[in-house]
Amino acid sequence: MEDHHFSPGDSDISQPLLSSTPHHRIPHGGFLTLHADGHSYTYAYGPGGIRGLLHNYYALGCAVFASIGGLTFGYDQGVIANVLVMKDFTQRWPIGPWEKGVMTAALELGSLFGALAAGVLADRQSRRFTIALACAVFCLGSALQCGATSLNQLTWGRAVGGIGVGALSMLSPLYMAEISPPEVRGSLMALEQFSIVLGAVLGFWVGFFTRNVDGSNSWRIPLGIQLGPGLLLAFGCVFLPPSPRLLVKRGRNEQALRSLAKLRLRSTEESARDPLIQIELLEMQAEALLVAQTSGTDPKAGGIRAEARSWAQLFSPKFISRTSIGIMMMFFQQWSGINALLYYGPTLMHSIGLQGDAVTLMVSGGIGIVQFLAVLPAIVYIDRVGRKPLLRGGSTVMALAHFCISILVWRSEDDWASHSFAAWTSVGCVYLFTAAYGISYGPIGWVLPSEVFPLSVRSKGVSLSTASNWFNNFLIGLITPVLMETSAPGTFLVFATACFLGYLWSTYYVPETANVSLEEMDAVFGSSAGREDQELKNQIEQELGLHELVRQWTGYDEN
């Protein structure tokens, strides 16, 4: 559901909506309600939760397909853990902790540049074209990795593939946010994390089952399989509907209406009479016009200066709080330690006392499975519970789990044979941490940045947030082997401290964004939108006929 506000004129509004009809049913499905204050209204195309996802089956299908971009991201994370310990790989290229970190982190460094570049291309070109281009780059990098004849070639392949992965990690959630119905936006956005986790599980277990294949095929096969989802998304995105919000930004309102109607399961004739379609489209137009007038730029214009201004806006007083939330969300997501476990799971399992390759690999593979199972309830409840409670609860559990592991490793690492209970308790804490991450920082890390930015800077804002993800991911991949070599207890203590700081941040700084429309996020940030902007927005909405349309369908009479 969406909660919206407007000024219904200069008259003093005190007349409540008739209590006998709190929800005004729409002939084509959904409801629209003008609240008792006469200023705010709520609308939804259908129910929330699982029923809402099934009700919006076309938008769900489009979001699921777009989330293949997250699958490529996760697969690359999961597959490398096994490759690094495969017999043929270690005999062919014996490497130390630093070389291991560089090869692993090369993908994250490429992803950093890919995420930033995608923010520019996504507005210059269509979302679908940019996704297809990112898939092409990803497939090129995957081919280089699969056919590598030297460690340098493999590292360069990971860097090139990373450019594609980074672009997709920004483009997929951006596109999904822009096509989602309001009542299930959080659930659809959580599909991104679901796909990432699914990819990590597939990547790990494909490598697990090919590790005993003779020769280099043991690691070439899992590295080559990732070409499949890349090619599927590249060719399949041609059939995805265009983003109605991007079409509105470019002034192509008729095309935006057709795309929106298709996404909301309305025919062309129905969309012309459906008030929810008209309201959602008018909200998009109002925001685009507001952005154009307040920024002094033409939303359809391009050019280097326009690009520079749009990037600079992210750090203006009006948007800096939103930008900091996007950047810091990804900072805490990565420094929680999740990717250290995914990249170096077998190594970390050895550090907490597990012995034997099969046992170590299977236990570390369980990390992905736990995360996969944990994200399922997040998809259903993320809009009901809210972002903030999940972040706070997840931070608390993750910090405690890491702290317990640190203490257990510190007390037992010199003689794990005599402390098998401590070793398995540490494994339990790893799984507890993973479950807490899967239901909190995992999905919300992709939902929150896509929610807080307005249309004018949304793609740039999401791009910068994703770049923060990859920069911190790069640091984690680079330094974890060295940290583990120096002090295993200290490594887990670093992650525990980051999770504790994440609790403080989510408690005192992050606003609740659940069930707030993308167009009305200004109200959440209070002072970030001045009175002039609000008055201008009301004027634009009045001129577009949005207020009159709401009153007409709710039967409200301001006289």
**Tens digits of residue pLDDT in 184-238:** 877 787 788 788 888 988 988 898 889 888 889 999 999 999 999 999 999 998 8
- The answer on pLDDT for 341 being more than 80 is no
Across the range 88-103, mean pLDDT stands at 85
Please name the residue that has the structure tokens 């000024």: 7
As separate numbers, helices (DSSP H) first and strands (DSSP E) second, the chain gives: 27, 4
Does residue 547 sit in helix, strand or coil? helix
**pLDDT tens string 13-45:** 333 333 344 566 777 777 787 776 666 777 878
Residue 338 near residue 401, CB atoms below 8 Å: no
Give the span between the Cα atoms of 365 and 348, in whole angstroms: 12
Question: What is the structure's pLDDT at 208?
Answer: 84
Lowest mean pLDDT of 252-266, 334-348, 385-399, 469-483, name the range.
334-348
Per-residue pLDDT, averaged over 342-349, amounts to 65
Q: Which domains does the chain have, with CATH numbers?
A: 51-242+314-508 (1.20.1250.20)
Average pLDDT, the chain: 81
| pTM score, whole prediction | 0.76
Q: What CA–CA distance (Å, rounded) separates 178 from 170? A: 13
DSSP 239: G
Specify whether the CB–CB gap between 182 and 166 falls below 8 A. no
- Sheet bearing 2-5, strands edge to edge: 2-5, 40-44, 31-34, 24-25
Tokens read off for 481: 């082997």
